[in-house]
Amino acid sequence: MAEIIDMPKLSDTMSVGTVVKWNIKEGQTVAFGDILAEIETDKATMELTCTVPGTVLKIYAAAGSQLPVGEPICAIGKKGEAAPEPKKAPAPKAAAPAIPESTGIPCIPEAPTSSNTPLATQSDGSRTKASPYARRMAEKAALNVAALSGTGPGGRVVGRDVTAATNAPAAAPAGPINVAVTPPADGKGIQPDADSPVSGMRATIARRLVESKNTVPHFYLEVEVDAAPLLALRETLNKRLAESAAEAGLKLSVNDFILKASAEALRRVPAVNASWAGTSIRQHSAVHLAFGVALEDGLVTPVIRDAHSKSLRDIAVDAKALIAKARSKKLSPAEMSGSTFTVTNLGMFGVTGFYGIINTPNAAILSVGATIKKPVVDAHDRVVIGQRMAIGLSGDHRVVDGANGAQFLQALKQILEEPTLILI
């Protein structure tokens, strides 16, 4: 008997998935373990493997289709068997809005309708009534309040309307926000006007960053590091690695040193290796380091597990393997979760300094800028050419105080300026 394959739930937060491409076609025979398709979740692109051997009778979802979990995507059965008629996944009932995940803030009850009700602007310039909580929920879910149908008093948009729009299967995308601008006077521009659909990854990035900035009290610190000793040690080690047949192909990056030094600095100042848990602060015994990898449609943060117990070489090997997986969209959700601290580096783009948005539930994120040559005053009060790197720290002030953050940066600076310490 034919079996219908549904859109699988490939991560704990996945509600919809996109069929990136099919590796099969109708009429093809497939065996257990064959790769049927590539599915984009809210975190990564993952392979869908065959668990039902047989003949592909029907493909219900074309490449590029975005479907909710549980929606039929293909049918497999015996050769010559008729493909079954798929049944649509039932639409979930609208429910009262839940407490936003990981915020630690109680749910705000809906306020009664009043003349002070916030209004959302529609594309035609008119205004839509919406409760403050509904507006915050919609912003977190990257939805346009003005495009939602309100079920509150007087057609007002309330929390349950946002929940229904977020969870509804195969729901029509929210109406576009009015971003119209005046065309160029000469009729030419830098590129054609165009609207690109928001990918699952981009939507998740938008939701998490809005949540982080709106719920986490960020504070910022910066320190300037003398990068000359680090660069000299890196050059020496890479020469040795190039001469070693056993280490052929391994080349240490500046970021590898930053990651290793961060793990060592967290060992010295463990208060930064923590998370806000609402009614408590969770101190982590292990250092699980996340680091940013830029992709075409966003940024992913793979995690190096137990970085506190790994050598510089081990961290470099792990980082390169995770970067390769990220660029080929093969990272699993497990490889992008469970971090305790995050490092993001824009130095390769020539950015000299910046501050990242905290990757919750981490208590801090380290931002690394480019190494630049500049005049500096040495220990003998002489003005010489120095190589300086600006490193910023964004901290969650609920967990980390300014003094803790400063102690961490002080430890990191010492390690980077005496980099042989990380080889011990």
What is the residue type of 343? Answer: V
For residues 117 and 91, the answer to whether their CB atoms sit within 8 Å is no
Task: Return the DSSP state at 43.
Answer: S
Residue 308 designated active-site = no
Cα dist from 54 to 1, 19, 78, 236, whole Å: 10, 21, 6, 57
**Paired sense of beta strands 298-300 and 293-295, if any:** antiparallel
**Pairwise CA distance, residues 334 & 366, whole Å:** 22
Half-sphere exposure of 111 (CA within 13 A, CB side): 13
**Pairwise CA distance, residues 343 & 337, whole Å:** 14
**Pairwise CA distance, residues 65 & 336, whole Å:** 25
Q: At 304, which helix (H) or strand (E)?
A: strand 303-304
Q: 284, 288, 380, 397: which one is catalytic?
A: 397
**Pairwise CA distance, residues 367 & 220, whole Å:** 10
**Pairwise CA distance, residues 157 & 131, whole Å:** 6
Q: Which of 272, 219, 218, 216 is nearest to 103 (CA)?
A: 216
For residues 213 and 53, the answer to whether their CB atoms sit within 8 Å is no
Catalytic residues: 397
